[in-house]
Structure 1
Amino acid sequence: MTTTESASPSAAADRTTLDDTERAALDAAIDELAAGERRWADTSLAARAALLARTHATIAANAERWATTAGRIKGLAPDSPLMGEEWISGPYPALTGFAQLSRSLQALAERRSPLAGARFGTAPGGRTTVRVLPHSAHEAILLHGFRAEVWLRPGVAASTARSHAGLAQHHPSRTGGVGLVLGAGNITSIAPLDVASELVAHNRVALLKLNPTLDDLEPVLRAALAPLVEAGVLRIVRGGADAGAYLTGHPGIAHVHITGSSVTHDAIVWGPGDEGRARKAAGTPVLDKDITSELGGVAPVVVVPGDWSADDLRYQAEHVATMRLHNGGYNCIAGQVVIVSRDWPLKDAFLAALRDALDRAPARPAWYPGSAARLASAAASYPGATRLGPDGGRLLVDLTGNAGGHGPDAAAPERAAVERTEYFAPVLGVVELPGTGQRFLDAAVAHANDELAGTLGANVVVAPNDRRALGAGFDRAIADLRYGTIGVNAWTGVGYLTATAPWGAYPGHTLADIQSGRGVVHNALLLDATERTVVTGPFRPFPRSVARGELALFPKPPWFVTARSAATTGRRLTAFAARPGWLAMPSVFAAAFRA
């Protein structure tokens, strides 16, 4: 892998100097957290569990305001089905994450492992797996047909995983100082969940600096996370790159966690501009403290060729379009390069369905800063790309041979841009490789590993009969795919939404070659020595799933950009996460089956 490029400007550029009042306010927040850290060290595990449970309640009380504020920031009409995204990626994962962390702390308080009763298995390469989805009877029904397993690093036994689960909470009095969370500007649950990881997984109190894009959400998050603020373990501040620079260099900050781009990461670690590049080459960082990060990348979508029906082609084309267009395309986990087989008889039919799905997806504002410039950069690199969508604001870069490109033999400079640049805009590339079956799958895995920037998430689409035909070869291919989350017939975004699954890059990156970052967040079971999460979903929605022999009762997912009832489903899912119960399920199903 080579270093991830970015079409976006560095967040560390154009810094200004904070005035004395602004510096004093930030200093005061850090001083207050230092006092809060001492109280946190004296707080019992049971009291910590209760604090997170109270926070869960305040998140629930502010969920409506949270989702509507996020929708307003992103320019969504209040009655748009796309509002479902703001429920499902905002208060919903925050609720499930805080609830499970509270349960894990309570288990530790009672001298039980958070993995008590967990199902373990094995994966190629001497790996132990832990089933994390479904994690409850409720999840088994609500997400019927979906499952997720965490693969531990080779050689880690189930007994070790069980005894080590709990991370820093095995020694709660050993706190780790003040952690700075540089919040993301795209998905509104990222920052609160990062705060929860700092507090529980690492036993650090947290200073959250919001991304300026989400400044309007600050009063909502302050209310939703009020118990943490009142306990002195969280402070929330606003500010731009100048505030971020002041805080990362502050002696009162022990650790930095960032969600963003590799360019922003490198500006923090090595410094901006030519001086920063020189420092990076010399291995002399300007940051004198540890940093963890989640930095996105160019996510592949490997389409394993098979004998698909017309309905399969349309559904999976919508699936891939969702991977790119969810949240307007402004996701670190957005699918960006589709890898298809040159020898697949249905390749042309699939690509036609994909163009149609991209073209027909609902219109939405290009709300994230810099989107137009990034789209223009892609268009300049690929003047023959197809503009799609109501306003022509979506770009399909088809590099397959029959589309006028050069397929797998394309010159490196021609393919480099879409495969090396995380566009963070509605740009989707398509490349082709020869072969079918195992030959194609192995080649696609090698291409994703060696040619695409980043290691955050990879997607594989495969019909059940083709997966069975591949047998152990399919499992070996997944083991060879070096990504932190792998979705098989399920967008890797489902891994983000799964509270019990770790979320982050494939392990092993260095500060000099950061790729998609270091460390994991979420991980509400507090698992140690994790390597990746593998999420599996149904190839077809209900009822076609059952009619074709899949045991899956899940309809079209509410996170699909074409789901007509997404807003209602998202609202009801969030209400269920606030107060789980069997009686609340029928209303969720009633909405979901109208998608």
Structure 2
Amino acid sequence: MSVGTARASDDVVDEAALDRALEDLEAGATRWATTPLPERAALLRRTHAAVAEHAEEWALTAARVKGLDPASPLVGEEWLSGPYAALTALARLASTLDVLAAGRSPLRGLSFHAAPGGRRAVDVLPLDRTESLLLNGFRAEVWFPPGTTDQRAMLTAGLGALRVGESGGVGLVLGAGNITSIPPLDVLYEVVAHNRAAVLKLNPVLAELEGPFSRAFAPLVDAGLLRIVQGGAAVGGFLAHHRLVAHVHITGSVVSHDAIVWGTGEEAAERKRAGTPLLEVPITSELGGASPIIVVPGAWTDAELAFQAEHVATMRLHNGGYNCIAGQVLVVSADWPQRAAFLDAVRAAIAAAPPRPAWYPGSADRTAAAVAAYPEAERLGPDGGRVLVEVGSGDPHAIETTECFAPVLGVVDVPGTGQAFLDAAVRLANDDLVGTLGANVLIRPEDRAALGAGFGRAIAALRYGTIAINAWTGLGFLLAATPWGAFPGGTLADAGSGIGVVHNALLIDGAERTVLHGPFRPFPASVLRGERALSPRPPWFVTARTAATTGRLLTGFAGGRAPWLLPAALASAFRA
């Protein structure tokens, strides 16, 4: 057993080693419960320094696991969605603890305002000048359920940090196997938001990240707040039902969630019918879905068609398509005169995206299943591994109710234009698509203005945890301050896209959803049309040629290595 880790294979569970790890964590959780907030913030900053030190090892290991060419711009995804995301979360969480230690709310000084449907919202992006520079033209707000007052939101922000002295025990984090920051970010939320120590079981797909994670998060390991273990379903099952585990968090599929909660086979079905779960402790989850990309018709220029086609290609192909938040169902108007031109641009963008291997297990089978359901599907890209399905008059059920977790994009037509189209698209997204994690809406600012209050009512009607307007919901994952999870309402029997939230570095209590806003047009067209956007192409676009350099520089800046890295990163992004 290496320091801070316990090893167990899929076939043999080393119960004694796992027992010792959990006993260490139980003691660590007890100490953590009484740790003053300034000391908690200091531990997070030591962890931040360790992540910065080992960021390159983390990013390059992830790139190797995913079979990326070291010279490919796609390596930028591993910098941004790996160590960069962890660094920004650690910095924001430490800042939140500082504010709470001074007796103030993390939401004090932020802008509250009305949101549609009698709701209140608070602006959480940008929070400082750096965010204004890095994400120029983007903003984010957190909506609260109707009836939540500004005062309640401010008083309850802080979660576990408001309950010093109260231990949450030991939490089990069943780590995701796709985006490498997901496991450590889920651990951080257990530790900071819930006063827990955490045992992280790595997904076998990311087994090679054990070493980088152990070194990057050594301060948490040394404090008795983290142990990292390897293994498959047997290890996960042993831990989930261990007497010392007080809470389970899983990022994965609803099938894995239900296996933990109810078991498997006919006995599981009987438990579910009786409402008697096998799991005896609370569980939270993030389980994905078939995310919509709603394209509101309008008179788009050729440049706008091309840019938003690259946007759609990114929503589907980022990380190879192996994202729980990947855009899967492109909802377009059957009556849009530019429908064919836009789909041609989408085809071209998908086909031209840089090559990468189908690295996630089962990808070929899932892609083949989509083609079997839609024999007329188009095979795109250098090896034909990317699939575009125009459902047309066919049955949309398969593409709407199965999370492909592969480079498969469906196109579903809805009649109408303007408000009629948008309302019909919202109904489809709510009623026909599986999951409630994230929805994307693309609309010209002029068309949004013409819809007036009707646009806000449509957004309020969308039952999704993150809604991105002229942005990708993946940005909501990347941002530290925004809560990340399904729309409220998931249950043990019907988890949907999951239960609860993570990330949420402002420790907001009771958020309903996150709403992101981005620029419809890139620079320079944005400036010419009066929009705020100084980047020709966001660095997370799969078509960004300088993404690897930008990601490395941004991670170095986020790690506090040198202030000059910020202008260098901005210059690199501008050349994308």
Q: What is the TM-score with the length of structure 2 in the denominator? A: 0.97
- Find the aligned partners of 1:283 and 1:567 in 2 and give their Cα distance: 49
Q: Does the 8 Å contact 2:481/2:506 carry over to 1?
A: yes
Alpha-carbon shift at residue 100 of structure 1 (Å): 0.5
- Find the aligned partners of 1:358 and 1:275 in 2 and give their Cα distance: 44
Alpha-carbon shift at residue 274 of structure 1 (Å): 3.2
Measured against aligned partners, the alpha-carbon deviations of 1:26-72 in whole angstroms (never above 9, x if no partner) come to 11100000111121122111100000011011000011001000000
Name the structure 2 match of 1:480.
461
1:89 counterpart SS class = helix
Name the structure 2 match of 1:27.
19
Name the structure 2 match of 1:533.
514
Alpha-carbon shift at residue 582 of structure 1 (Å): 5.8
Find the partner of 2:504 among 519, 523, 534. Answer: 523
Name the amino acid aligned to 2:405.
Answer: F
Q: Does 1:150 align with 2:139?
A: no
Find the partner of 2:308 among 313, 316, 338. Answer: 316
Measured against aligned partners, the alpha-carbon deviations of 1:321-346 in whole angstroms (never above 9, x if no partner) come to 10000000000000000000011000
Find the partner of 2:388 among 396, 401, 408. Answer: 396
Find the partner of 1:18 among 7, 12, 34. Answer: 12
**Pairing of 1:188-227 with structure 2 (within 5 A):** 188-227=180-219
- Find the aligned partners of 2:563 and 2:54 in 1 and give their Cα distance: 23
Q: Does 1:337 align with 2:318?
A: no
Name the structure 1 match of 2:85.
93
Alpha-carbon shift at residue 548 of structure 1 (Å): 2.3
Q: Does 1:80 align with 2:61?
A: no
Alpha-carbon shift at residue 580 of structure 1 (Å): 8.0
Q: Does the 8 Å contact 1:138/1:582 carry over to 2?
A: no
Q: Does 1:560 align with 2:554?
A: no
Q: Does 1:290 align with 2:271?
A: no
Find the partner of 1:122 among 114, 126, 145. Answer: 114
Name the amino acid aligned to 2:408.
Answer: V
Q: Percent identity over the alignment?
A: 63
1:135 counterpart SS class = coil
Name the structure 2 match of 1:365.
357
Q: Does the 8 Å contact 1:572/1:587 carry over to 2?
A: yes
Alpha-carbon shift at residue 212 of structure 1 (Å): 0.5
1:432 counterpart SS class = strand
- Find the aligned partners of 2:118 and 2:197 in 1 and give their Cα distance: 36
- Find the aligned partners of 2:250 and 2:136 in 1 and give their Cα distance: 34
Find the partner of 1:461 among 418, 431, 442. Answer: 442
Name the structure 2 match of 1:428.
409
2:300 counterpart SS class = coil
Q: Does the 8 Å contact 2:10/2:232 carry over to 1?
A: no
2:494 counterpart SS class = coil
Larger deviation, residues 322-331 vs 505-514: 505-514
- Find the aligned partners of 2:10 and 2:72 in 1 and give their Cα distance: 39
- Find the aligned partners of 1:215 and 1:172 in 2 and give their Cα distance: 34
Alpha-carbon shift at residue 126 of structure 1 (Å): 1.7
Unaligned runs of 5+ in 1: 1-14, 401-405
Name the structure 2 match of 1:252.
244
2:512 counterpart SS class = strand
1:422 counterpart SS class = coil
- Find the aligned partners of 1:355 and 1:103 in 2 and give their Cα distance: 44
Alpha-carbon shift at residue 584 of structure 1 (Å): 3.4
Larger deviation, residues 350-359 vs 496-505: 350-359
Alpha-carbon shift at residue 122 of structure 1 (Å): 1.1
Q: Does 1:346 align with 2:338?
A: yes
Name the amino acid aligned to 2:436.
Answer: T
- Find the aligned partners of 1:66 and 1:372 in 2 and give their Cα distance: 27
- Find the aligned partners of 1:72 and 1:552 in 2 and give their Cα distance: 34
Larger deviation, residues 105-114 vs 527-536: 105-114
Q: Does the 8 Å contact 1:168/1:200 carry over to 2?
A: yes
Find the partner of 2:425 among 438, 444, 448. Answer: 444
Name the structure 1 match of 2:4.
none
Query: How many positions carry a matched residue from both structures?
Result: 568
Name the structure 2 match of 1:7.
none
- Find the aligned partners of 1:386 and 1:364 in 2 and give their Cα distance: 19
Q: What is the TM-score with the length of structure 1 in the denominator? A: 0.94
Name the structure 2 match of 1:543.
524
Unaligned runs of 5+ in 2: 1-8
Find the partner of 2:551 among 570, 575, 579. Answer: 570
Alpha carbons of 1:124 and 1:580: their partners in 2 closer, same or farther (altered >3 Å)? Answer: farther
Name the amino acid aligned to 1:378.
Answer: A
Alpha-carbon shift at residue 16 of structure 1 (Å): 6.2
Give runs of ≥4 in structure 1 deviating > 4 Å: none
Alpha-carbon shift at residue 567 of structure 1 (Å): 0.3
- Find the aligned partners of 1:555 and 1:325 in 2 and give their Cα distance: 20
Q: Does the 8 Å contact 2:37/2:97 carry over to 1?
A: yes
Q: Does 1:579 align with 2:556?
A: no
- Find the aligned partners of 2:380 and 2:330 in 1 and give their Cα distance: 17
1:395 counterpart SS class = strand
Larger deviation, residues 544-553 vs 85-94: 544-553
Alpha carbons of 1:398 and 1:236: their partners in 2 closer, same or farther (altered >3 Å)? Answer: same
Alpha-carbon shift at residue 277 of structure 1 (Å): 2.7
- Find the aligned partners of 2:492 and 2:535 in 1 and give their Cα distance: 41
Alpha-carbon shift at residue 555 of structure 1 (Å): 2.5
- Find the aligned partners of 2:444 and 2:430 in 1 and give their Cα distance: 23
Name the structure 2 match of 1:232.
224
Alpha-carbon shift at residue 284 of structure 1 (Å): 2.2
